Amino acid sequence: MKAIHFDAPGNPEVMKVVDVKNPLPSENQVLIKVKAAGVNRPDLIQREGNYPPPNGHSNILGLEVSGEIKSLGRKVKNFKVGEAVCALVNGGGYAEYCVADAGTIIKKPKNLNFIEAAAIPECFFTCWSNIFDRGEVKNDQYVLIHGGSSGIGTTAIQMLKIFNIFTFVTVGNDKKKKLCEELGANIVINYKKEDFFLKIKEINNKGVNLILDMVGGDYVQKNINLLCSDGKLINIAYQKGSKVNIDLMKVMLKRLIITGSTLRIRDSSFKQSIRNSLIKNIVPYIENGKIKPVIDSVFFFEQSYKAHKRMYSSEHFGKIVLDMENKLG
Ligand SMILES: NC(=O)c1ccc[n+]([C@@H]2O[C@H](COP(=O)([O-])OP(=O)(O)OC[C@H]3O[C@@H](n4cnc5c(N)ncnc54)[C@H](OP(=O)(O)O)[C@@H]3O)[C@@H](O)[C@H]2O)c1
């Protein structure tokens, strides 16, 4: 099969299409003929050489796919060959065929095409796990999502809207601000023009109950200061750095919880339980059109380097997806 490969970490141009052996599904896995693969920031970090795949995971980039089931492992029930699905995968998505644990597969909602379905797994699993499971968000709470225009941000905004949870988000320009407002965020702050701490305090003096942060750096202290009593700060990335000099006094005084998580290293049963929660709580809203993955752009398989460049540009709003079915030209 064809897959994206790089000999050594480097810039986006190191990625090239090569021939490799098809992966073989184990007894609890399925083999998927990939039609589309989502691009995520962790792919860029892996290609740069800073996020190596955990032991036993594919070296090929790509954490989410959509496609049709080609074959089933011996113990797999509830799925059949030919079925249209999307799946969270342990790498291997930037390829014609990819294996997925049966517990991380979601049947493709009929109202979505394969491009849209490929944009679901990584962001929906991450948002559900951090905001609803770890964050235990409640209806009467206030939430702040940093990076509202990201794949993660556009997913979080829609999920929180469904549950009527008041959501602040930060973005880097006014175009993204408008789009996040249209998507359902209650208050959108352009962090290049306004201080998010001051703006939120002005609107709700108590601050917020939960912050999902992918920025880190100087945001950490501001986040701590912004949380109300018993609030939670959950980091899923530290784009501005994970080494910070902070005053922890408010953590004690306000009984804050500072936590974080990464999805990829978690085992299949953990991921399966998120998958089950998504099927129960979120997929019905995808099927009735109230939640829809936001697609920024689609690139041909051979142009994966362009997809990565688009993500570096930070001009995107929502998800960048690789079309694995149609060929360039
Ligand atoms: N821990 C996990 O399990 C997990 C899983 C998936 C993703 N992630 C992380 O989650 C983040 C989003 O992933 P993605 O794939 O959706 O990537 P993405 O679309 O490229 O998102 C990155 C976002 O960060 C925002 N950002 C950068 N600097 C900012 C700042 N100073 N203030 C506010 N926002 C800022 C950018 O928005 P602006 O251009 O508007 O600044 C951009 O939208 C990435 O950092 C990724 O590594 C973590």
Protein residue closest via CA to atom 35 of ligand 1 = 147
| Cα–ligand 1 centroid distance for 158 (angstroms) | 16
Amino acid code (one letter) for 45:
I
User: Residue ranges of the chain with pLDDT lower than 50?
Assistant: none
**Å from CA of 264 to ligand 1 middle:** 16
- The pLDDT tens digits for 298-310 are 999 999 999 999 9
Whether residues 254 and 271 fall in one domain: no
Give the largest CA-CA distance in the chain.
61
pLDDT of residue 329: 65
Q: Which atom of ligand 1 is nearest to the CA of 45?
A: 47
In the chain, the amino acid numbered 195 is D
Within a domain: 26: yes
pLDDT at 327: 76
Residues 203, 112 share a domain:
no
Tens digit of each residue's pLDDT (9 = 90 or more) over 88-142: 999 999 999 999 999 999 999 999 999 999 999 999 999 999 999 999 999 999 9
pLDDT for res 83: 98
Residue ending a domain, among 239, 260, 281, is 260
At 326 the pLDDT is 85
Tokens of 124: 């929906």
Q: How far apart are CA 227 and CA 143, in angstroms?
A: 10
Question: Number of C-alpha atoms within 13 angstroms, CB side, residue 186?
Answer: 19
pLDDT number for residue 158: 98
Residue 329 within a domain: no
Q: Which of 39, 40, 155, 296 to mutate to test the pocket of ligand 1 (most atoms within 8 A of CB)?
A: 40
Residue of 128, 150, 174, 236 to test ligand 1 pocket, by largest number of atoms within 8 Å of CB? 150
Q: For the whole prediction, is pTM greater than 0.95? A: yes
Residues 167, 241 within the same domain: yes
Distances (CA, A) of 31 to 56, 96, 167, 203, 255: 17, 10, 39, 50, 47
Domain that holds residue 177: 124-260
Q: What is the DSSP letter of 95?
A: B
Distance CA 129, CA 221 (A): 24
Same domain, 132 and 211: yes
Give the type of residue at 205: N
Decide if 328 is inside a domain.
no
Distance separating alpha carbons of residues 297 and 310, to the nearest angstrom: 9
Asked if 294 contacts 38 with a C-beta cutoff of 8 angstroms, the reply is: no
What is the whole-number distance in angstroms between the Cα of residue 74 and the centre of ligand 1?
A: 38
